[in-house]
């Protein structure tokens, strides 16, 4: 089901100061997508999620789910959370430790007054789906963190919600388990064909899990796009910087010819992917470290070929990370271990124009 958010704002007053947690948000979350709200701490992700669920009341605006208005100030509509047909999974698993896995998952159906045999059938089906059959009778706390999170997922799914919402559900798991659970979640959600709204500040999680990502900053949505669009082709400097490591260099547009935009920068003249920007105007050049191609020794010909000196080199597993000094700029590059370089070396390198992105400040 599609979720529409129109003109939603929410402020809090804390210690005499007003914080605008949501600033006139307009957003459409398409049906059956995994849609992620990503942004730094305090940007308003959780507040937006809580407004959709109904745990928080906006100051203004309108929210509809599947075409039905669930909250509107103007129309005086405020559907309570339990009537919005949503499931929710939190950061803390919020499962009841004194109850068995079965009872945890059955609870949402019991409070709806469903018959016992129907409850048993639904719970069994849901536990099978999240691959937890066989542990129904176990106390929920005698499960691993990943299994506990699957109990929480089963409990959110058992009542067959129209939409499921996640607030940083994996952040209490260790790195390896987090990656495994993330993959499982992607598979589960893909099979369910359900609208999922996912809140995280973890960019890798957002990239790996989402169909679309909305990047938020200070109560506003800065940019929305597929993970690939946001990573490779962001429009905004903030987004390019937040989603992955990037060399961001202040530049000025030099020319626009044959679908190539060139800029003057601290690296010299650089040919970039085309962007419709005025000649002589400012632009930020964004180069991801993995697109800097080192050749051994200095080079002196070709588009975007440069020379620099390796100022530092660190092995980070898989690759080396190098800082390359070019004039006043210090570029971060990821270097394949096969390329033999050491600190202090003069190296030549190139960057394909397609990987020189211009973003707005
Ligand atoms: P995090 O990733 O840290 O959870 P977030 O992006 O989810 O952050 P929110 O929790 O939505 O951010 O908070 C947005 C802003 O509103 C923050 O400045 C926060 O301090 C403030 N805020 C949130 N809830 C309240 C509250 N109940 N009372 C006062 N201020 C609040």
Please check whether residues 319 and 352 belong to one and the same domain.
yes
Please check whether residues 12 and 36 belong to one and the same domain.
yes
- What's the whole-number average pLDDT of the chain? 90
- Domain finish residue from 188, 213, 239: 239
The verdict on the CB of residue 38 being under 6 Å from ligand 1 is no
The four Cα atoms 27, 30, 34, 36 give a dihedral, to 10 degrees, of -10
Please check whether residues 252 and 194 belong to one and the same domain.
no
Do residues 285 and 358 touch, judged by C-beta distance below 8 A? yes
Please check whether residues 257 and 310 belong to one and the same domain.
yes
Please check whether residues 199 and 309 belong to one and the same domain.
no
What would the two tokens of residue 41 be?
């701490």
- Domain finish residue from 239, 263, 292: 239
The helix or strand, by DSSP H or E, that contains position 231, with its residue range, turns out to be: helix 227-232
Please check whether residues 316 and 228 belong to one and the same domain.
no
Distance 13 CA to ligand 1 centre (A): 11
- Domain finish residue from 239, 273, 288: 239
Q: What's the burial of 327, exposed, middle or buried (CB within 10 Å: 0-12/13-18/19+)?
A: exposed
Please check whether residues 234 and 276 belong to one and the same domain.
no
Least confident of 82-96, 120-134, 196-210, 279-293: 82-96
Q: β-pairing, 77-78 with 68-72?
A: antiparallel
Please check whether residues 255 and 231 belong to one and the same domain.
no
Please check whether residues 191 and 74 belong to one and the same domain.
yes
The verdict on the CB of residue 230 being under 6 Å from ligand 1 is no
Could you list the residue range(s) of the whole structural domain that residue 171 is in? 3-239
- Please tell me the predicted confidence (pLDDT) of residue 320: 92
Least confident of 13-17, 89-93, 320-324: 89-93
Q: CATH no. for residue 107?
A: 3.40.50.300
- Please tell me the predicted confidence (pLDDT) of residue 6: 97
Please check whether residues 316 and 172 belong to one and the same domain.
no
CB neighbour list of residue 339: distance below 8 Å, 6 or more residues apart: 294, 296
Least confident of 15-29, 110-124, 318-332: 110-124
Q: How far is CA 134 from the centre of its chain?
A: 34
pTM: 0.89
3-state secondary structure of 62: strand
Q: What is the pLDDT of residues 83-125, one digit of tens each?
A: 898 988 877 667 777 888 999 999 888 888 888 899 999 899 8
Q: What is the pLDDT of residues 23-80, one digit of tens each?
A: 999 999 999 999 999 999 999 999 999 999 999 999 999 999 999 999 999 999 999 9
The verdict on the CB of residue 14 being under 6 Å from ligand 1 is yes
Taking Cα atoms as reference points, which of 1, 39, 2, 3 lies closest to residue 22? 39
Taking Cα atoms as reference points, which of 48, 55, 59 lies closest to residue 84? 55
Distance 220 CA to ligand 1 centre (A): 13
- Please tell me the predicted confidence (pLDDT) of residue 92: 67
The verdict on the CB of residue 44 being under 6 Å from ligand 1 is yes
Please check whether residues 317 and 176 belong to one and the same domain.
no
Please check whether residues 229 and 115 belong to one and the same domain.
yes
What ipTM score was computed for the predicted complex, to two decimals?
0.97
Q: CATH no. for residue 262?
A: 2.40.50.100
- Please tell me the predicted confidence (pLDDT) of residue 133: 82
Q: How many domains does the chain have?
A: 2
């Amino acid at each position: 089901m599609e979720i529409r958010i129109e003109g939603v704002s929410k402020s809090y007053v804390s210690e005499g100061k007003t914080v605008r947690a949501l600033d006139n948000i307009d957003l459409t979350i398409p049906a059956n997508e995994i849609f992620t709200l990503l942004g730094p701490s305090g940007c308003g992700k959780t507040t937006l999620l809580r407004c959709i669920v109904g745990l928080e009341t906006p100051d203004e605006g309108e929210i509809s789910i599947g075409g039905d208005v669930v909250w509107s100030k103007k129309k005086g509509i405020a559907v309570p959370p339990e009537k919005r047909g949503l499931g929710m999974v939190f950061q803390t698993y919020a499962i009841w430790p004194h109850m068995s896995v079965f009872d945890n998952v059955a609870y949402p159906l019991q409070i709806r007054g469903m018959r016992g045999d129907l409850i048993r059938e639904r719970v069994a089906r849901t536990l099978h789906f999240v691959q937890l059959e066989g542990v129904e009778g176990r106390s929920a706390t005698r499960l691993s963190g990943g299994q506990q999170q699957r109990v929480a997922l089963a409990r959110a799914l058992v009542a067959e919600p129209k939409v499921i919402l996640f607030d940083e559900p994996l952040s209490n798991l260790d790195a390896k388990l987090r990656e495994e659970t993330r993959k499982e979640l992607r598979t589960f959600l893909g099979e369910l064909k359900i609208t999922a709204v996912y809140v995280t500040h973890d960019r890798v999680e957002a990239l790996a899990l989402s169909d679309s990502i909305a990047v938020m900053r200070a109560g506003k949505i800065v940019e929305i796009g597929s993970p690939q669009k946001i990573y490779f082709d962001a429009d905004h400097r903030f987004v390019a910087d937040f989603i992955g490591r990037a060399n961001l260099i202040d530049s000025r547009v030099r020319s626009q010819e044959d679908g190539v935009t060139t800029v003057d920068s601290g690296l010299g003249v650089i040919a970039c992917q085309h962007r419709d920007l005025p000649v002589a105007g400012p632009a930020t050049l964004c180069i991801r470290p993995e697109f800097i191609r080192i050749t051994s020794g200095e080079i002196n010909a070709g588009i975007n070929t440069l020379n620099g000196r390796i100022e530092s080199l660190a092995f980070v597993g898989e690759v080396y990370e190098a800082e390359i000094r070019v004039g006043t700029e210090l570029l971060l590059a990821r270097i394949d271990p096969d390329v033999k370089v050491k600190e202090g070396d003069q190296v030549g390198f190139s960057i394909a124009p397609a990987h020189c992105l211009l973003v707005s400040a």
